[in-house]
């Protein structure tokens, strides 16, 4: 991540993606969520440039925080109605890695 205070621009890199982030099996969700929350509360942040997806404001941080918290808590995240194949597959992988079945050592459908 990088921040350009003169412009209020947060270069979020892979910590923020739209429509949803790509999660690895060993991604540190608690630290990831906490970091995004710190930036979300920083009034200097006016613009967020995600690694992938449309530019936006702090609402992009909130969308990613909500998604990550839902995964962590085993709550199926609300997904956009129009989700392309890549992100549909990405969500399924994210759910396997971090959804409720992952905490029991099982995958979706088992």
Q: What is the CATH number of the domain that holds 32?
A: 3.60.15.10
Two tokens, residue 54: 């449309």
- In whole angstroms, give the CA distance from residue 103 to residue 88: 21
Report how many domains make up the chain: 1
Decide if 110 is inside a domain: no
Q: What is the pLDDT of residues 16-63, one digit of tens each?
A: 999 999 998 888 999 999 999 999 999 999 999 999 999 999 999 999
Rounded alpha-carbon distances, angstroms, from residue 77 to 21, 45, 47, 49: 12, 25, 24, 22
Q: What is the pLDDT of residues 43-52, one digit of tens each?
A: 999 999 999 9
Decide if 52 is inside a domain: yes
Q: How many CA atoms lie within 13 A of 18 on its CB side?
A: 17
Range(s) of the domain holding residue 67: 2-103
Decide if 13 is inside a domain: yes
Q: What is the pLDDT of residues 10-19, one digit of tens each?
A: 999 999 999 9
Decide if 109 is inside a domain: no
């Amino acid at each position: 991540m990088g921040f350009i205070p003169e412009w209020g621009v947060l270069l979020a890199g892979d910590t923020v993606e739209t429509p949803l982030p790509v999660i690895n099996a060993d991604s540190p969700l608690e630290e990831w969520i906490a970091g995004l929350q710190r930036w979300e509360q920083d009034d200097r942040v006016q613009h967020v440039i995600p690694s992938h997806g449309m530019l936006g404001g702090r609402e992009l941080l909130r969308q990613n925080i909500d998604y990550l918290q839902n995964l962590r808590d085993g709550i199926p995240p609300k997904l956009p109605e129009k989700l392309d194949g890549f992100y549909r597959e990405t969500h399924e992988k994210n759910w396997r890695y971090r959804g409720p079945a992952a905490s029991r050592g099982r995958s979706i459908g088992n």
